[in-house]
């Protein structure tokens, strides 16, 4: 599912999600360089019947410009409109590949390649519960692409409305928390990428299937960041994914109505600019 549509709540998807927890309204460095990494136990794809351990470490640049930004809400985004309660941006996210031979349902089928998502996102803060707490409605619309680094393929579109509770200083500990409930709808092209079985891949236990566009699933996600010092942060992410009533329940690749994933890791900022901006 997006900011992690496939097995990637940690891999790249979960790592991106962990960076989307709220930040305290304060002076922050305009530019930072860091490293982020962690590991998680993740579903292979939406409604997969198997989880696998996965991990990643990657450089983490952060730039808090007025328009171009790489920050707590996305790896790279262009902020078009920004006010106290509304934000409209165009952002980029991604996720890692999945090896079909490691999954019983997909064995012998093509792998799921590295994926990228790009598109507009609208965020509306409709209620504030306390100094650091708020309720948001987010509406991202994404075009999804896949690549094996030899070519790029357009895989379809998705939309994921989300209702989120965010707290920037949970229990006064400096812990940043986000609890979000989202629903994902995807077009037929993207659903085919996960659930279609073409004739060459039909077996005695895996019949032919043509995917359908529509409801993909819903997700309850908890994200937390806890400071371990000025430059080091611990993060945790956990997902519960429901695919009850999804458009492709009849696919032989659809194995579980309820899946889960969890991951933990560290973010280390080893360089911070002297110039700051007010977040």
- Going by C-alpha positions, the residue among 200, 196, 199 that lies closest to residue 212 is 196
Cβ-based burial of 229 (10 A; exposed 0-12, middle 13-18, buried ≥19) = exposed
Catalogue all structural domains in the chain, each as residue range(s) with its CATH number.
Answer: 11-272 (2.40.230)
pLDDT at 2 over 50: no
Helix, strand, or coil (residue 192): helix
Q: What is the pLDDT of residues 191-226, one digit of tens each?
A: 999 999 999 999 999 999 999 999 999 999 999 999
Residues in the chain: 279
Greater model confidence, 248 or 261: 248
- Measured over the CA atoms of residue 84, residue 86, residue 89 and residue 92, the dihedral's sign is positive
Q: CA angle at residue 131 from 164 to 18, to 5 degrees?
A: 40
- Measured over the CA atoms of residue 23, residue 25, residue 26 and residue 28, the dihedral's sign is positive
Average pLDDT over residues 84-89: 90
Instruction: Give Cα separations from 269 to 33, 83, 122 (angstroms).
Output: 6, 28, 28
Say how many Å lie between the first and final Cα of the chain, rounded: 29
Average pLDDT over residues 80-103: 83
Model confidence at 91, pLDDT cuts 50, 70, 90, reads confident
Contact of 237 with 221, CB cutoff 8 Å: yes
Contact of 93 with 9, CB cutoff 8 Å: no
Residue tagged 């019947």 (tokens): 49
Q: What is the pLDDT of residue 1?
A: 42
Residues 6+ apart with CB under 8 A from 171: none
Model confidence at 3, pLDDT cuts 50, 70, 90, reads very low
Contact of 139 with 116, CB cutoff 8 Å: no
Q: What is the pLDDT of residues 32-65, one digit of tens each?
A: 999 988 888 888 889 998 888 877 788 888 888 8
Which of these ranges, 145-149, 159-163, 211-215, has the smallest mean pLDDT? 145-149
Q: What is the pLDDT of residue 7?
A: 41
Q: Which two tokens stand for residue 118?
A: 């790009």
pLDDT at 92 over 70: yes
Contact of 235 with 18, CB cutoff 8 Å: yes
């Amino acid at each position: 599912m997006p900011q992690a549509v496939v097995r990637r709540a940690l891999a790249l998807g979960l790592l991106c999600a962990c960076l989307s927890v709220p930040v305290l309204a304060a002076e922050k460095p305009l530019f930072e360089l860091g490293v982020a990494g962690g590991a998680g136990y993740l579903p292979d794809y939406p409604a997969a019947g198997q989880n696998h351990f996965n991990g990643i470490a990657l450089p983490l640049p952060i730039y808090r410009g007025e328009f171009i930004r790489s920050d707590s809400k996305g790896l790279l985004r262009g902020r078009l409109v920004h006010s106290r309660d509304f934000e409209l941006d165009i952002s980029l996210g991604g996720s890692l590949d999945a090896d079909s031979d490691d999954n019983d349902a997909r064995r012998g089928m093509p792998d799921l390649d590295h994926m990228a998502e790009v598109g507009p996102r609208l965020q509306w803060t409709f209620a504030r519960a306390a100094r650091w707490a708020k309720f948001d409605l987010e509406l991202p619309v994404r075009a999804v692409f896949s690549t094996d680094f030899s070519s790029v393929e357009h895989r379809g579109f998705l939309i994921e409305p989300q209702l989120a509770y965010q707290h920037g200083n949970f229990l006064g500990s400096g812990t940043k928390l986000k609890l979000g409930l989202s629903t994902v709808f995807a077009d037929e092209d993207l659903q085919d990428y996960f659930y279609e079985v073409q004739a060459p891949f039909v077996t005695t236990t895996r019949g032919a299937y043509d995917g359908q566009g529509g409801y993909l699933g819903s997700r309850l996600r908890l994200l937390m960041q806890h400071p371990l010092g000025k430059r080091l942060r611990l993060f945790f992410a956990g997902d519960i994914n429901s695919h009850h009533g999804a458009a492709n329940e009849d696919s032989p690749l659809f194995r579980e109505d309820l899946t889960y994933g969890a991951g933990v890791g560290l973010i280390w900022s080893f360089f911070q600019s002297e110039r700051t901006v007010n977040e």
